Amino acid sequence: MSEALNETKYLFKKYKVKANKNLGQNFLIDDDALQDIVNGANINSNDLVIEIGPGLGSLTKLLLKKAKKVVCIELDKKMVKILKDRFILDKNLEIINNDVLKLDINAIIKEQKKQNLDIENVKIVANLPYYITTPIIMHLIENNLDIESITVMIQKEVAERLITIPGTKDTGAITYTIYYYCEGTKIREVDNTCFMPEPEVTSEVINLQMRKTPPVKVEDKKVFFNIIKSAYMQRRKTLINSLSNVGVFQNKEQGEKILKSIGLRVDIRPDKMRIEDFARLTEIFLKNIKNDNSQK
Ligand code: SAM
């Protein structure tokens, strides 16, 4: 029997705990899947690893063997108590009992680097609670964190949307954000039988390497991502319709002219747009605003 399964059963019994569905507690009980997450994260002996949602500590146990330091962020007090007991001898572990979305992760990293001058890179590793996967990933990538990579297990369907190339199959508004900040790769799929209790969906482990420079230049990131969001508000509509409705194009005629000028079909739908196309649209939109303002 798998070691993780044995340990999970033992801890459930010893602490009389049950998985809390409201906190997305699906514990990973498959040794190979656990090892593949750690291998996929490519952890070195001088790395600081931040683990989100350690639960009973099955992944934590493996991370502690590889990293210089592991900082775990866990919302559930009961889990924190178990983790403290289980890893009492591990001096390279710190546990923070809080909601990851409420924490200033950069402040945590700065403090760790101050305490431990040997730390070279920071890597985030997690089997994420599925009910808040997207907010957590956005919290990590939009805050300019001093991290090298994020390796997470999430719902397969979401994973595919995150790591596809914008403008190809499975593209959604979030695809552009991830692609702008990271280079994503699939590590492996994980069947629902690898968890206790079993989730209803298949999972996937992905690795996101933070880019040093973004793939496109944009003058105003906020405007760029707002245009993308507006285009995807009604993803079945043409881009012209969606962007005319929110005033990115003054009207459909102007929209047609702009799309033609950058070599795009006038009936293009948002999910056929490459990131470069949205960057060009943003550039034209900002230029038109500047021109309008200078004429006033
Ligand atoms: N890492 C463990 C494993 O692989 O077996 C548990 C993973 S379980 C899918 C998700 C974990 O995230 C749970 O332990 C849950 O209590 C924790 N969690 C849920 N919401 C959280 C939040 N907002 N902040 C931090 N941890 C959270």
Provide the token pair at 231. 């285009």
| Domains along the chain with CATH numbers | 3-210 (3.40.50.150), 221-294 (1.10.8.100)
Buried b (16+ CB within 10 A) or exposed e, 27-37: bbbbbebbebb
Report d(CA 247, CA 292) in Å as an integer. 14
Residues 179 and 275: beta-carbon distance below 8 Å: yes
What confidence score (pLDDT) does residue 279 get?
98
pLDDT value of position 89: 97
- Ligand 1 pocket, residues with Cβ under 6 angstroms: 23-28, 52-55, 58-59, 73-76, 79, 99-101, 127, 129, 132
Predicted confidence (pLDDT) per residue in 3-15, tens digit: 999 999 999 999 9
**Owner of token pair 């710190």:** 94
Residue 168, burial from CB neighbour count under 10 angstroms (0-12, 13-18, 19+) = exposed
- Give me the pLDDT at residue 105, please: 97
The burial class, CB within 10 Å (0-12 / 13-18 / 19+), for 223 is middle
Q: Whose CA is nearest to atom 12 of ligand 1?
A: 53
CA of residue 23 to ligand 1 center, whole Å: 7
Mean pLDDT across 206-228: 97
Give tens-digit pLDDT for 251-264. 999 999 999 999 99
Distance from Cα 163 to the centre of ligand 1, integer Å? 22
Report the nearest atom of ligand 1 relative to the CA of 29: 5
Place of tokens 């007991």: 85
Rounded average pLDDT over 80-104: 98
